[in-house]
Structure 1
Amino acid sequence: MKIGYDVSQTCSSKSGTGFYADQLIRAIAKQDKGNEYYLLPRFYDYIQGEDERATTVEQQNFKNVVVQEFSDKDALFGSLDIVHSNNFRYPKDIRAKKVVTIYDVSFMDRPEFTTEANRMFCFRGTFDSVMNADIIVAISEYTKERIKYYFPYINDDRIRVVHGGNRYTLLGEKENVETIMEYGLTSGEYFLSVGTIEPRKNYETLLKAYRDYKESNRNGYKKLCIAGGYGWMEENFSAKIKKYGIENDVVITGYVSDNVLANLYRYCYAYVYTTWYEGFGLPVLEAMNFAKPIIASNVTSVPEVAGEAAILKNPENYGEFASAMDELARDESLYDKMCGLSAERAKVFSWDNAAEKMISIYNELGAK
């Protein structure tokens, strides 16, 4: 079969969707030597202009191809048997079987966390996919449930759950404590949170929790590091930090490379995730990969990923997070227990398993 695979979200600074598309196709490449894969750095109207930075796979049955016309009129695109979209765009005007990954429906569940333009764009892609795609891939059981909530008449068999996996490549990144020292951080002396700075991540709760934690530990407290680039609707984030009087103890790294990210995880004391909404919650799994204790929100898909291996709290209550941070820092036995639980839970999610499920979906469609 010839399979077109959307890698448009991997062209620049990758967020969750880009990491999912990147890691999945790399895992697929390890297992599938027979089907032909055409990786598409441009996908319909999503053109970042950095095609050379898109995910590539150095394997005989993989090619990166820039398509100019997304229809059957294009010689290559028209010859594909399957097209897999990874960015909320429904692959229309083609005869190929259509697979669409839907990461979440936060734009409907929590519309206040995004812009009008993005909300309408995501809704159109999701609506067209639900109505017409051959297979919809949900990245968690939670996302599948929410899709079915809004579209109750969709055939259950058309939605397949393919969980993300653990980025073991992060563990292979070179250990270098000087990486974190450049940000004024010390090994074991900071709480870490990772993610784009945007309303959905609920960083204000984290800032309030950290303020209270610091107040309770004036004689010895750990710093807070937030690793992520600025997204939308958080133009005054620096002012919020100053408002809570913690500007000397909060580090904002901006978007970081995998090597820096790996070392931030490796040397942090614990991971704190106050998010309002996640389709999967990859950073939780990444922190578990480094056997770090997790304090996280008890909502959406986070409990599905974390299981019993995290201290789960209400994201509406910053006091709960502050108390958990304080308790973890004071109770060595609890700390050690949570480290062990994280390490075990990290083994549950594998990109190899995800790739096996995805290849099975492709083969199923190819046989129809």
Structure 2
Amino acid sequence: MHIGINAQLLSYSQNYRNGGVSRYIRYLLTQLARQPQEHAYTVFVNGQEVIDHLEPHPQITYVSAPWSEDRPTSRIAWEQLTLPTLIRQKQIDVFHSPVNVRPELLPRHCASVVTLHDLAFLRFSHVLTRAKRLYHSTFTVRSLKHATLIITVSDSTKRDLHELVNIPYERIQTIYPCIDERFSNVLKEEKIHSFREKNGVKDGFILYLGTLEPRKNIATLLDAYAQLKQKYQIQEKLVLAGGKGWLYDEIFTRVHQLGLEEAVLFPGFVADSEQALWYQSAAVFAYPSLYEGFGIPVAEALASGTPVVTSNVSSLPEAGAGLALCIDPQDSNALSAALYQALIDQQLRDRCKQLAPGIAQQFSAHAMVEQTIAAYEQAAKIHHQQRITYVQ
């Protein structure tokens, strides 16, 4: 088959755009270049500089269709108006939209696969900007209803899709995203010590790593951290690492209200080369998000051997793989108690290091791509059968 992939949201910029969905696309393309099977691929990316980062392969053709990251309306217009013509010209059999939205006017011969990362715009619409709510309500729902097959990144998102959008389960397949192999490489203690010194932290700090935006529930994490300091007199700092997303002013206001200016660090966006260092340097990874399609930082931290405290809602217990401490994200007391347990429980720390290789294997790139190619093949069969039925 000839498979097309819309990789326009793949970014190597040093900001929040190089986050979860961008990394999902990057890992997918990297692994496809290593195990493409018998298929040919045309991948649409944003600019030649992106192509320069990707692994070449004779079965993969990269097509540059640049638009400014500062003008998402240009990307949407290209995706909806220009891309269908390119799909028709290149005679693509199956088209994969790896971030929620497919072109509306796909050629009739072409099957479509959409990866749905979450339904936060329906579950937690109040934590999104008006523009994001409008985009998803206009394009995402229509894409999900018209897609031949939908990949969800967790069973939780699969259930949400069935419940909220009324998509039959037979059109949905769960394929877990992968985590990079580098997270399971044990770093030397001297390197970790040097990294801590460089960033002004000592052994024992609590880490959050992700976009700074309301759904991540960072205000509650700050409340729990303030309780930790008051109740247990801990000296460990809290590091809130990640790029600024949207509606993040409350986070900085809360730090000031709680008098935590000296105890909370904001290192900003974390480059790929430093992510494993942050995870392995931390005593605890905290991720009390209100809702996640998967919550890949949880799996990354566990694969790094670091104890994790996360939420007991949506997909986060799946990402926690039975090893993370899961609490009610609205309960700052429970969050505070779990963080303290993770800080002092040596048995938990030893168990996390012992089981880390199994976490990395559970969420491997090889498994993700093998299952994704099978989804392409299944979508082609479904679409072929639908066309035969339509003609009859």
Fold similarity call, TM over 0.5: yes
Q: Which moved more, 1:52-61 or 1:279-288?
A: 52-61
In the alignment, structure 1 residue 160 sits paired with structure 2 residue 173: yes
The answer for the alignment partner of 2:99 in structure 1 is 87
Q: Which moved more, 1:60-69 or 1:209-218?
A: 60-69
Match of 2:339 among 292, 307, 325: 325
Paired letter, 2:8? S
How many angstroms apart in 1 are the aligned matches of 2:123 and 2:237?
A: 33
How many angstroms apart in 2 are the aligned matches of 1:74 and 1:263?
A: 42
Encode CA deviations 1:158-201: one digit per residue, 9 max, x unaligned. 11111112211344597643344332123x32111111000000
The answer for the alignment partner of 1:138 in structure 2 is 152
User: How much has 1:365 moved relative to structure 2?
Assistant: 3.3
How many angstroms apart in 1 are the aligned matches of 2:86 and 2:310?
A: 47
The answer for the alignment partner of 1:39 in structure 2 is 43
How many angstroms apart in 2 are the aligned matches of 1:303 and 1:129?
A: 28
How many angstroms apart in 2 are the aligned matches of 1:80 and 1:168?
A: 32
Closer, same or farther: CA 85–51 of 1 in aligned 2, 3 Å: farther
In the alignment, structure 1 residue 181 sits paired with structure 2 residue 185: no
Closer, same or farther: CA 316–28 of 1 in aligned 2, 3 Å: same
Encode CA deviations 1:40-93: one digit per residue, 9 max, x unaligned. 114xxxxxxx55236622111112202576255448754211211123322222
The answer for the alignment partner of 1:47 in structure 2 is none
How many angstroms apart in 2 are the aligned matches of 1:217 and 1:343?
A: 33
For the Cα contact (< 8 Å) 2:104–2:143, is it kept in 1? Answer: no
Alpha-carbon RMSD:
2.2
User: How much has 1:106 moved relative to structure 2?
Assistant: 0.7
Paired letter, 1:184? G
Aligned residues: 358
Secondary structure at the aligned position of 2:82 is classed as: coil
How many angstroms apart in 2 are the aligned matches of 1:66 and 1:78?
A: 14
How many angstroms apart in 2 are the aligned matches of 1:174 and 1:309?
A: 21
The structure where helix makes up a greater share of residues is 2
Paired letter, 1:199? P
The answer for the alignment partner of 1:208 in structure 2 is 223
How many angstroms apart in 1 are the aligned matches of 2:240 and 2:157?
A: 26
User: How much has 1:222 moved relative to structure 2?
Assistant: 1.2
User: How much has 1:111 moved relative to structure 2?
Assistant: 0.8
Q: Percent identity between the aligned chains?
A: 26
The answer for the alignment partner of 2:61 in structure 1 is 63
The answer for the alignment partner of 2:264 in structure 1 is 250
How many angstroms apart in 1 are the aligned matches of 2:335 and 2:84?
A: 53
User: How much has 1:115 moved relative to structure 2?
Assistant: 1.1
Secondary structure at the aligned position of 1:107 is classed as: helix
How many angstroms apart in 1 are the aligned matches of 2:361 and 2:186?
A: 19
Please list, as runs of the form range in 1=range in 2, the aligned pairs for 1:1-368 lying within 5 A after superposition. 1-11=1-11, 12=13, 13-42=17-46, 51-53=48-50, 56-67=54-65, 70-74=82-86, 77-95=89-107, 96-152=110-166, 154-171=167-184, 176-177=191-192, 178-186=194-202, 188-218=203-233, 220-367=234-381, 368=384
In structure 1, stretches of 5+ residues that fail to align are 43-49
Normalising by structure 2, we get a TM-score of 0.85
User: How much has 1:149 moved relative to structure 2?
Assistant: 0.5
For the Cα contact (< 8 Å) 1:173–1:262, is it kept in 2? Answer: no
Secondary structure at the aligned position of 1:253 is classed as: strand
Secondary structure at the aligned position of 1:328 is classed as: helix
How many angstroms apart in 2 are the aligned matches of 1:130 and 1:94?
A: 14
Closer, same or farther: CA 224–191 of 1 in aligned 2, 3 Å: same
Closer, same or farther: CA 326–2 of 1 in aligned 2, 3 Å: same
Paired letter, 1:181? E
In structure 2, stretches of 5+ residues that fail to align are 66-77, 385-392
